[in-house]
Structure formats: C-alpha cells, structure tokens
Chains A and B, each alone.
Chain A
Amino acid sequence: NAGVTQTPKFQVLKTGQSMTLQCAQDMNHEYMSWYRQDPGMGLRLIHYSVGAGITDQGEVPNGYNVSRSTTEDFPLRLLSAAPSQTSVYFCASTPGFGQGNYEQYFGPGTRLTVT
C-alpha cells in the first residue's frame, strides 16, 4: 500500500491564481480530511468527507473547495489564491465505522507559497 499520497510537494502561486492539490489513498478508507499547518497554530481542519459524494466544512473553509467523487481521491481546490493561504497542507484518511481503529493516516504534505 502507498498509503496517503499528495501532489505536488511544493508549489508557488501568484495572487489570484487557482490550483488543485491532489490527495489519494489506497486503503479504502471512508473518511478523508484536509488540514493546513501554520507556525504556532497546529493543524486546522479545512474540509472533510465521510464518504464518496459527501463533504462538509471544517474550521477554516473559506477560499477552498472540495469534492469526493470516488473513495480514493479528495482534491482541494484554491479558487483565487491569497498570501494568507501560504501554508503546509496535509491530507488524512481514516477508516470508517466498522473498518478498523479510527486512526488518521497523514500524507507527506504540500508546501504552498502564494506571492
């Protein structure tokens, strides 16, 4: 198993540009989440999904969109990048009810800089 994979590892955007951060998992986990990590603030939840076709907002959803068309993939879209979105982004997946131990598995992260 590759676990949770994220692409790209690094990205530099100009203000106003859009892009999609990719996340995929091959563990057949029902739950997937996106977090951003900022210095001194830990990780904050952006959006999450409890299954294909179902998404919901986390703590800091503004400026981001998600969709979950398959169990495996959970892309995060930045609609119009702003310098405040400079951060490290982590995707995570979790087994669903009855699937296992509810441990969250994290991807390696995407470091995004918006100039």
Chain B
Amino acid sequence: GDSVTQMEGPVTLSEEAFLTINCTYTATGYPSLFWYVQYPGEGLQLLLKATKADDKGSNKGFEATYRKETTSFHLEKGSVQVSDSAVYFCALRLGGGAQKLVFGQGTRLTINP
C-alpha cells in the first residue's frame, strides 16, 4: 500500500547548522507531497508542498524537491534557528475525492543555541 518513511529522530543541531530530513515514499499513481510542522502543544501546519515531479516547494527558508526517480522529498534548510525546533511530518496525498493524507512517523528536531 501507499506509505511514507522518514528519517529516524530525534535530530539535534546547533543554531545555523544545515538541516536535512530524509523522506521517501511508496505510492501507486502520482501523489502530491507535503511537509507539515507541529510546534509544541499545537496542531499541524502546512510547511510546503509539491504536486508533481521536479516541483520544488519552499517556505520560511525550508525547501524540498519532488524526485520521482528516487521517490523522495527530502526537507532542507541552510541555516536553522532555535525557533525551528518542532516535529516535522512528511506526507503524501492520494488522489480522488477524499483528499486523504498518509503520514510518515515524524521527526523531532531540536535546535540548540
């Protein structure tokens, strides 16, 4: 079935470090891909998305490129801040009328000053 696999956490970095969180997927058809972020005590917020191969989603300094050949959607940021500490979820959306999301297990990121 359709699934998303994320890099195991937790991840701890120092401020201004480079971040990569790996995400790979298995899907029938051509899903849309998303990164969601969950700050402590809050619900999920959409961080960025890509709807077709080679699309690059970007927001708040984060980027991810939809790579169909490697079925990947890795999240990157060049210089992280303490305020980026959160749990990050990669997800794919199945087509059709229901717009259902399939999530990875989440990666907890902690940035130390």
Contacts and interface: CB of A to CB of B under 8 A. Distances in A.
Nearest to A3: B43
A59 to B, nearest CB: 8
A33 B100 contact: yes
Interface residues of A, number: 26
Interface in A78-114: 90, 92, 94, 96-97, 102-104, 106-109
Interface in B34-50: 36, 42-46, 49
Interface of B: 4, 6, 32, 36, 42-46, 49, 89, 93, 97-106
Contacts of A97: 97
A53 interface: no
Given A41-B105, A42-B105, A43-B89, A106 B100 contact: no
5 contacts: A40-B106, A92-B44, A94-B99, A102-B99, A108-B42
Given A48-B98, A97-B97, A102-B93, A42 B46 contact: no
A11 to B, nearest CB: 16
A85 B28 CA distance: 30
Interface of A: 4, 31, 33, 35, 40-45, 48, 50, 56, 58, 90, 92, 94, 96-97, 102-104, 106-109
Contacts of B97: 50, 96-97
A44 B91 CA distance: 11
Nearest to A45: B100
Contacts of A106: 36, 43-45
Nearest to B46: A103
Q: Which 7 A-B pairs have the closest CB atoms?
A: A42-B103, A106-B43, A106-B44, A43-B103, A42-B105, A94-B99, A108-B43
A104 B101 contact: yes
Contacts of B93: 102
Nearest to A58: B100
A94 B104 CA distance: 20
A35 B101 CA distance: 10
Given A45-B100, A48-B98, A50-B97, A109 B46 contact: no
